[in-house]
Amino acid sequence: MNLRARISASAAVYDVARVRADFPVLSRQVNGKPLAYLDSAASTQRPRAVIDAVDYYETHLHSNVHRGVHSLSQLATDAFEAARERVRSFLNAASTREIVFVRGTTEAINLVAQSWGHSELKPGDEIAISALEHHANIVPWQMVAAATGARLRVAPLDAAGQLRFDEFEALLGERTRLVAMAHVSNALGTILPVQRVVAAAHARGIPVLLDGAQAVAHEPVDVRALGCDFYAFSGHKLYAPTGIGVLYGREALLEAMPPWQGGGDMIRTVSVERSTWNELPHKFEAGTPNISGAVGLAAAIDYLESLGREQAAAHELLLLRAATTALEAIPGIHLHGTAAHKAAVLSFTLDGVHPHDLGTVLDHEGVAIRAGHHCAMPLMELLGLPATARASFACYSTLEEVAQLERAVRHAREIFA
Amino acid sequence: MELTDLYREVILDHNRHPRNFGHLDPADGHADGHNPLCGDRLSITLRNAGDRLEELRFKGNGCAISMASASLMTEAVKGLRHDEVETLFQQVHGLLTGTAVPTADLGKLAALSGVREFPVRVKCASLCWHTLQAALADAASGHAAPVEPVSTE
**All domains in chain B, ordered by first residue:** 3-142 (3.90.1010.10)
Q: What length is written for chain B?
A: 153
Is pLDDT of A10 > 60?
Answer: no
Is A228 annotated as catalytic?
Answer: no
Name beta bridge partners: A335: A348
Q: Write down the catalytic residue from A375, A394, A408, A409.
A: A375
Q: Chain B: which residues have CB within 8 Å of chain A?
A: 1, 3, 6-7, 12, 15-16, 37-41, 61-65, 118, 121, 124
pLDDT band of A12, cuts 50, 70, 90: low
Is pLDDT of A413 > 60?
Answer: yes
B38 to A371: CB separation less than 8 angstroms, yes or no: yes
Residues of chain B where predicted confidence (pLDDT) is lower than 70? 1, 145-147, 153
Percent of chain A with pLDDT over 90: 88
pLDDT of residue A417: 87
Could you tell me which of B55, B50, B64, B63 has the C-alpha nearest to residue B23?
Answer: B55
pLDDT of residue A349: 97
B3 to A364: CB separation less than 8 angstroms, yes or no: yes
Domains A3-39+308-416 and A51-305 share a fold: no
pLDDT of residue A7: 53
Q: Which residues does A208 contact at the CB level (< 8 Å), separation at least 6? A: A178, A179, A180, A181, A194, A197, A198, A201, A202, A227, A228, A229, A230
pLDDT band of A358, cuts 50, 70, 90: very high
What is the arithmetic mean of pLDDT over A244-249? 98
* Local structure of residue A342 (DSSP, 8 states): B
Which H or E run contains A82? helix A71-91
Using one digit for the tens of pLDDT, what is the confidence trace for A42-71? 999 999 999 999 999 999 999 999 877 899
Using one digit for the tens of pLDDT, what is the confidence trace for A183-232? 999 999 999 999 999 999 999 999 999 999 999 999 999 999 999 999 99
Alpha helices in A279-370 (DSSP H): 291-307, 309-328, 355-364
Is pLDDT of A293 > 70?
Answer: yes
What is the spatial distance between Cα B43 and Cα B149, in angstroms, rounded to a whole number? 9
- What top-level class would CATH report for the domain A51-305? alpha beta
Using one digit for the tens of pLDDT, what is the confidence trace for A76-120? 999 999 999 999 999 999 999 999 999 999 999 999 999 999 999
What is the spatial distance between Cα A138 and Cα A376, in angstroms, rounded to a whole number? 9
pLDDT of residue A2: 57
Q: What is the nearest CA distance from B9 to chain A, expressed in angstroms? A: 10
Q: What is the nearest CA distance from B66 to chain A, expressed in angstroms? A: 10
Structural domain spans, chain A: 3-39+308-416, 51-305
pLDDT of residue A108: 98
pLDDT of residue B149: 80
Is pLDDT of A394 > 80?
Answer: yes
Using one digit for the tens of pLDDT, what is the confidence trace for A255-287? 999 999 998 888 888 888 888 989 999 999 999
Q: Chain A: which residues have CB within 8 Å of chain B?
A: 31, 353-357, 360-361, 364, 371-373, 380, 386-387, 415-416
What is the spatial distance between Cα A240 and Cα A245, in angstroms, rounded to a whole number? 9
Residues of A within 8 A of B121 (CB-CB) are 356, 360
Is pLDDT of A6 > 80?
Answer: no
**Which of B1, B37, B64 is closest, CB to CB, to A357?**
B64
Angle at alpha carbon of residue A370, lines to A366 and A372, rounded to 5°: 140
B1 to A354: CB separation less than 8 angstroms, yes or no: no
pLDDT of residue B146: 66
Searching chain B, which residue's CA lies closest to the CA of residue A381? B39
CA torsion angle A157 A158 A164 A166 (round to 10): -140
Which H or E run contains B148? none
Give the 3-state secondary structure of residue A349. Answer: strand
A100-132 per-residue burial string, b: 16 or more CB within 10 A, e: under 16? bbbbbbbbbbbbbbbbbbeebbeeebbbbbbbb
Residues of A within 8 A of B41 (CB-CB) are 386
* Residue A1 CB neighbours (<10 A): 9
pLDDT of residue B151: 81
pLDDT of residue A351: 96
Searching chain B, which residue's CA lies closest to the CA of residue A354? B63
Residues of B within 8 A of A353 (CB-CB) are 64
pLDDT of residue B73: 98
Backbone phi, then psi, for B52, in 5-degree steps? Answer: -110, 145
pLDDT of residue A177: 98
B7 to A415: CB separation less than 8 angstroms, yes or no: yes
Q: What is the nearest CA distance from A37 to chain B, expressed in angstroms? A: 19
Q: Under a CB-based contact definition with an 8 Å cutoff, are residues A197 and A168 in contact? A: yes
A415 to B38: CB separation less than 8 angstroms, yes or no: no
CA distances from A327 to A251, A317, A340, A350, A351 (A): 46, 15, 18, 10, 13
What is the spatial distance between Cα A245 and Cα A103, in angstroms, rounded to a whole number? 5
- What top-level class would CATH report for the domain A3-39+308-416? alpha beta
CA distances from B101 to A41, B94, B95, B97 (A): 40, 6, 6, 10
**Number of H helices and number of E strands within chain B?**
5, 4
Q: What is the nearest CA distance from B122 to chain A, expressed in angstroms? A: 13
